[in-house]
Structure 1
Amino acid sequence: MELPTPVKGPLIIKKRIFALVGLLSIALICIGIYTAIRVRDTNVWLTDSAVRTRDLLTAVDTARMAQVHFKMQVQEWKDVLLRGADPDLYETHFTAFRNEEGTVKELMVNLKTLLGAMQVDTRLVDEFVAAHEDLGRRYRHAIEQYDRGDPASGFAVDRMVRGIDRLPTTAIDAIVAYMRGATRTDIDLQQTLTEAKVARDRHFVQGISVLIASAVLLALFFALTIIAGLRSPR
């Protein structure tokens, strides 16, 4: 008695289906991994861009505050000479002068730290700091000549230091102008790069969509081929 011949058709079909499912799964996994990497890179880039813009705006605000406090420092110096005959007013305005001077120095330290972290040239800051230090020394030397009992003393001291605030004033104004221009330029550049990156990512998504659709159609084609082979007469 002859044994029946094993039917290999279903086994072959199962193998083909498993192979098809496996290939499609591998393709989808690879696409998913690559897409995740692209999304991560885009998020990192956007985060870095936002941080840089934030730091630049902070630097502009810091420079502007230093500019304001420097002008207040100079004004307090003038008030010392104008009202210094009164001991209380002298102490009030000279204390305010020192406080404003300290605030300016602190802001300059912060500004230089910010710019250094962003790899922005700090020479303008260094120039202002040097001019500001010299201004403070010359003001303190001049105030030693101030005689509270002499009404004309304030004018004499003022003549000694007249115009010495022009150099630091020009320097701090240059810093503010530079930071505003650099920030505007950087923001425009970041916007251009962002638009380009968004366009590339949009094309990438479109390409991925086409790739997935192609994979599905290919899988459907192979499935139909397998089914057709199953139905064909032996």
Structure 2
Amino acid sequence: MRLSIKLPLTIASLLFLMAGAAITVELQLARGLNAFKTDVAAVNQQEREINAINIAFREQVQEWKNLLLRGKQPDKFQKHWSAFEKNEQDVAIAVGHLLDSLTEPEARGLLIQFAEAHRLMGQRYRAGMETFKAAGFDPHQGDLSVEGMDRGPVKLLREASGALAKNSALVSASTVEASHIAEIFSLVVISTMLLLGLLIGFLLSRSVLRLLGASRPTPPRSRARSRAGRLVDGGRAARRRRNEHDGSR
């Protein structure tokens, strides 16, 4: 193949390989970044949501205690009971929203159990509120009627939060490992392309030098030495023929 064709084809092939390597590296890095944006961000958001549920639930229980302490006054009773119901509703809505996106089996199962325990707790607290009113707003009677009702939901919520935290750590570790693999893959691809480029450059330079050597004209001195050599060889051959002729006489 002529040099005028081989050289552009070789350079074009090398550029094509380098572009392919760059695209491959970019895709690997984009995959790692996308995993961080989706998987890690999703579990972090779920952790924030379950923390918000925990805060709203504790505020709900605190409003019940405020009701028992200040419920003798009608305005205070209405204030704290309304706050209790609002927090109860906030917890239920937040739990439903989290369950829509939560796929981790352990945390999801615990959160479903919490939702049911929270619903039953609400019923018991309403019965306790009626007992509290019937007892002349006696806080002791109101407290006895719901004693220990919040312990089960608190335990379930704490376990669900722990399961989410564990899952978040696993997802983060998996994403970090995937990013390390992408980095190693990128280094391997870049190193391979570099070595391949050096090899192609070496082979191309040898080919160029070979073509240049084949097309180089013979120097005058070399031509003279070549003619002189041929003359010497011719003289030797003539002497051998004469000697053979003389010997045959």
Q: TM-score, normalised by structure 2?
A: 0.79
The correspondence for 1:159, drawn from 130, 134, 144, is 144
**1:93 aligned to 2:80?**
yes
- Separation in 2, partners of 1:205, 1:42: 14
Q: Which residue of 2 aligns with 1:231?
A: 216
* Deviation larger for 77-86 or 31-40: 31-40
- Separation in 2, partners of 1:188, 1:170: 27
User: Within 5 A, what are the aligned runs for 1:70-85?
Assistant: 70-85=57-72
Amino acid aligned to 2:160 = I
Q: State whether residues 85 and 149 of structure 1, in contact with CA within 8 Å, keep that contact through their aligned partners in structure 2.
A: no
Q: Which residue of 2 aligns with 1:115?
A: 102
Q: Which residue of 2 aligns with 1:134?
A: 120
Residue 121 of structure 1: how far off its partner (Å) = 5.2
**1:41 aligned to 2:32?**
no
Change (3 A) 1:32 1:108: same
Q: Which residue of 2 aligns with 1:190?
A: 175
Q: Which residue of 1 aligns with 2:91?
A: 104
User: Within 5 A, what are the aligned runs for 1:62-73?
Assistant: 62-73=49-60
- Separation in 2, partners of 1:107, 1:161: 24
Q: Which residue of 2 aligns with 1:213?
A: 198
Computed over aligned residues only, the root mean square deviation of the Cα atoms, in angstroms, reads 2.4
CA deviation digits over 1:53-107, x for unaligned, max 9?
1111111111111111111111101211221111111111111111111221222
CA deviation digits over 1:169-222, x for unaligned, max 9?
001111111222221232223223322321222122111111122222222222
- Separation in 1, partners of 2:20, 2:188: 17
CA deviation digits over 1:2-48, x for unaligned, max 9?
xxxxxxxxxx7xx3321332143134214412431331232123222
Residue 120 of structure 1: how far off its partner (Å) = 7.6
Residue 141 of structure 1: how far off its partner (Å) = 2.6
- Separation in 2, partners of 1:231, 1:193: 56
Structure that is richer in helix per residue? 2
Q: State whether residues 64 and 176 of structure 1, in contact with CA within 8 Å, keep that contact through their aligned partners in structure 2.
A: yes
Partner of 2:148, secondary structure, is coil
Q: Which residue of 2 aligns with 1:169?
A: 154
Segments of 5+ residues of structure 1 without an aligned counterpart are 1-11
User: Which of structure 1's runs of 4+ aligned residues deviate more than 4 A?
Assistant: 118-121
Q: State whether residues 69 and 104 of structure 1, in contact with CA within 8 Å, keep that contact through their aligned partners in structure 2.
A: yes
Query: In terms of Rg, which structure is larger?
Result: 2
Q: TM-score, normalised by structure 1?
A: 0.83
Aligned length: 219
* Deviation larger for 21-30 or 165-174: 21-30
Q: State whether residues 143 and 157 of structure 1, in contact with CA within 8 Å, keep that contact through their aligned partners in structure 2.
A: yes
Q: State whether residues 21 and 193 of structure 2, in contact with CA within 8 Å, keep that contact through their aligned partners in structure 1.
A: no
- Separation in 2, partners of 1:151, 1:51: 52
| Identity over aligned pairs, percent | 19
Change (3 A) 1:227 1:121: farther
Amino acid aligned to 1:72 = E
Change (3 A) 1:214 1:184: same
Amino acid aligned to 1:224 = L
Partner of 1:85, secondary structure, is coil
